[in-house]
Amino acid sequence: MSDKETTKGVESITALKAFAHPLRIRLYYALRNTKVATVSYLADAVEAPVAQVSYHLRQLHQHGFIEPAPQHARDARERWWQLSNQRLRWHASSVLDEPEAAAMATMIRNSAVSEQYRLIGEFNESAEWDTGWLDAAFMADGTIDLTHAELTEMHAELMAVVERYTALSKRQPALPGVERVMYVLHGFPVRRTTDDPA
């Protein structure tokens, strides 16, 4: 889910509406992090009633963002879900002239950032990971002076690295010691302070 998604994407007010709910964004992340899951598992993951979770999953499914995974069901009553190949995609500039769409896009981005940092906090507070994972996990930030064209190029280069490791992660079978890893990338301009000499 990104305003510059590289996979198959859709861009419309209807698609934005399908995502414009904090619980749906949490469900999307929970489902992405586990690959496939039942409604009851997802309800536990987001701490919401099963009926409420089922409704929001149906909305995501209706708009093509998730799909049933019946191959995992043990009986006809068990319902499994997985992400589809469709992602929400938009360019921030494309919604500037549509107040409703702009408000929904802002809400989606803010909710996504909240969920990203909730997961980061969950890792930071967890005692279950061994020292190898604790040392491998990283957090970095800084500021550099770029044009918007250079920032676009930087994004493309970073995503090329991500794609290389994404391809590596699809190896079959999974090697011992492999875990699901979440990455978070943000790049955006910040206002200079009044006494910045540059």
Q: Please report, for the domain that includes residue 101, its CATH number.
A: 1.10.10.10
Interior/surface letters 122-161, b for 16+ CB within 10 angstroms, e for the rest: eeeeeeeeeeeeeeeeeeeeeeeeeeeeeeeeeeeeeeee
Could you tell me if 71 and 144 lie in one domain?
no
Give yes or no for residue 156 having a pLDDT over 60.
yes
25-52 pLDDT tens trace = 999 999 999 999 999 999 999 999 999 9
Mark which of 84, 105, 128 sits at the end of a domain: 128
Band of residue 130 on the pLDDT scale cut at 50, 70, 90: very high
Band of residue 2 on the pLDDT scale cut at 50, 70, 90: low
Return the pLDDT at 3.
Answer: 47
Could you tell me if 116 and 38 lie in one domain?
yes
Q: What pTM was computed for the model?
A: 0.80
Which of 72-76, 87-91, 107-111 has the largest mean confidence? 107-111
* Domain range for 165: 129-189
